[in-house]
């Protein structure tokens, strides 16, 4: 069996970014009167990685990645929740600080899982379909377009799930608007880099999958 090192690295980086996002989402950033979730500065990178993997290795591979990453995030959130509520030494007075920081991780994980399933699958589907329609050209445009739609759906759902039930509505919509605007700007800045990475990996891997006869059912996990 051939181990594709670039793919292994991309998947590992993808999971690292997702788990980091879960921890920093509740760290709010305040810039010129605008509230921005800390996760906004990290999560767009996961969409960039998904675009790269979909473009080179195909929808089937990224479909498995999306599902497996959701399971990993759930395990990550549950493990943190369990450890945070194990008995602490009587003289150790930092328990409340740890709980305040890490208890929300499970809510963020659940919100990210639900939102990510919709946003990531739509993103992967669009970039794959457009690739076939325009014969593999204009990756940068396909990446921007699919990410704009996928991230838009993700932002609406995740902000409502994570912040909507505990934050005033004006703050919730402020977070939603600022997060989406920043992510679009982020992706515009990232797309020249991702385009170079795609060109390089296609030449190194000797692979460029077209999902011409692919079953796009998100619940089918076969890569064959």
pLDDT, tens only, 101-138: 888 888 889 999 999 999 999 999 999 999 999 999 99
5-8 long-range CB contacts below 8 Å, 24 or more apart?
Answer: 6/201, 6/204, 6/205, 7/53, 7/57, 7/61
Give 93-117 as a 3 state SS string: CCHHHHHHHHCCHHHHHHHHHHHHH
What are the angstrom distances between the C-alpha of 143 and each of 37, 89, 124, 220? 23, 51, 9, 24
Residue 36's closest CA among 177, 222, 217?
177
Q: State residue 165's pLDDT score.
A: 65
Can you give the pTM of this predicted structure?
0.90
Which pLDDT band holds residue 3 (cuts at 50, 70, 90)? low
How far is residue 21's CA from residue 2's CA, in Å, rounded to a whole number? 31
Extents of the domains making up the chain: 5-25+39-85+100-205
Residues 6 or more apart whose CB falls under 8 angstroms from that of 98 comprise 84
Across residues 183-198, what is the average pLDDT?
Answer: 92
Which pLDDT band holds residue 166 (cuts at 50, 70, 90)? low
Residue 37: in which H helix or E strand, if any? strand 34-37
Residues 6 or more apart whose CB falls under 8 angstroms from that of 6 comprise 201, 204, 205
pLDDT of 167 > 80? The answer is no
How far is residue 63's CA from residue 217's CA, in Å, rounded to a whole number? 9
Q: State residue 14's pLDDT score.
A: 96
Residues 6 or more apart whose CB falls under 8 angstroms from that of 213 comprise none
Beta-strand runs (E) in 108-159:
none
């Amino acid at each position: 069996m051939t181990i594709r090192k670039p793919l292994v690295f991309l998947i590992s980086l993808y999971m690292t970014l997702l788990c980091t996002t879960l921890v920093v989402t509740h760290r709010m950033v305040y810039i010129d009167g605008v509230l921005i979730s800390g996760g906004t500065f990290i999560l767009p990178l996961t969409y960039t990685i998904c675009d790269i993997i979909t473009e080179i290795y195909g929808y089937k591979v990224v479909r498995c990645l999306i599902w497996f990453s959701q399971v990993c995030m759930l395990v990550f959130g549950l493990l943190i929740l369990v450890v945070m509520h194990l008995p602490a030494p009587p003289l150790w007075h930092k328990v409340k600080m740890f709980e305040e920081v890490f208890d929300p991780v499970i809510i963020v994980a659940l919100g990210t899982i639900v939102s990510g399933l919709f946003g990531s699958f739509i993103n992967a589907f669009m970039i794959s379909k457009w690739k076939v329609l325009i014969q593999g050209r204009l990756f940068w445009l396909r990446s921007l377009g699919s990410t704009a739609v996928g991230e838009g759906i993700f932002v609406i759902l995740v902000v409502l799930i994570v912040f909507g039930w505990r934050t005033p509505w004006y703050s919730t919509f402020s977070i939603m608007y600022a997060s989406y605007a920043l992510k679009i700007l982020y992706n515009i800045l990232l797309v020249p880099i991702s385009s170079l990475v795609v060109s390089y990996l296609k030449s190194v891997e000797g692979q460029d999958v077209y999902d011409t006869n692919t079953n796009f059912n998100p619940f089918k996990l076969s890569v064959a």
